[in-house]
């Protein structure tokens, strides 16, 4: 019987259609919230809020920057593209901080070393806020699966673009206006 199904001219088209339906329905009915109850990070939706420590162990909340355009970059000190793009983030921050641009680096510290991350930021002359995701909470809420991952968030807190991978360059930033 199984052999005859494979020989049927309808077997593979039916298999393809049913697979596509499963994929579409899974995406359609996927939850709109993360485990923490926040909205999932999607273009056109509000960026999930988080609170993380900075290098002085002061808690910084994303919501604190509402009203500013934010470039939110998830990175690790061991990640070659992350290392390569950090100078471009600093130059863009230097060029546009007076215009209200905020750049925030979130180190995925749960898979990195705090001291190495801090040393890396010092060596690269990073002047924008670097926050440390010690327990994976922000990375989990932002569904980080690749490094680097960069979110562009408008002044209302809405995600406008997401870039997976890198390294991003200063030319890339400037071409986006």
Radius of gyration of the chain (CA): 20
Strands (E), the chain: 51-53, 59-61, 70-75, 102-107, 130-132, 149-153, 159-164
Among candidates 176, 8, 155, which has minimal Cα distance to 92?
A: 176
Question: Could you list the pLDDT tens digit for every one of the 177 residues in the chain?
Answer: 444 545 556 544 444 444 433 433 334 334 444 445 555 688 999 999 999 999 999 999 999 999 999 999 999 999 999 999 999 999 999 999 999 999 999 999 999 999 999 999 999 999 999 999 999 999 999 999 999 999 999 999 999 999 999 999 988 887 875
């Amino acid at each position: 019987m199984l052999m005859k199904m494979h020989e049927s001219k309808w077997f593979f088209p039916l298999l393809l259609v049913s697979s596509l339906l499963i994929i579409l329905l899974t995406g359609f009915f996927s939850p709109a919230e993360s485990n923490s109850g926040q909205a999932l990070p999607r273009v056109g939706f509000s960026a999930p809020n988080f609170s993380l420590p900075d290098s002085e162990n002061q808690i910084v909340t994303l919501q604190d920057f509402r009203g500013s355009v934010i470039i939110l970059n998830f990175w690790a000190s061991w990640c070659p593209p992350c290392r390569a793009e950090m100078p471009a983030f600093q130059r863009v921050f230097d060029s546009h901080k007076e215009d209200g641009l905020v750049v925030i680096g979130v180190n995925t510290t749960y898979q990195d070393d705090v001291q190495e991350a801090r040393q890396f930021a010092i060596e690269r002359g990073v002047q924008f806020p670097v926050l440390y995701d010690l327990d994976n909470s922000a990375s989990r809420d932002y569904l980080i699966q690749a490094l680097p991952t960069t979110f562009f968030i408008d002044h209302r807190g809405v995600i406008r673009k997401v870039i997976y991978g890198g390294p991003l360059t200063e030319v890339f930033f400037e071409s986006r206006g």
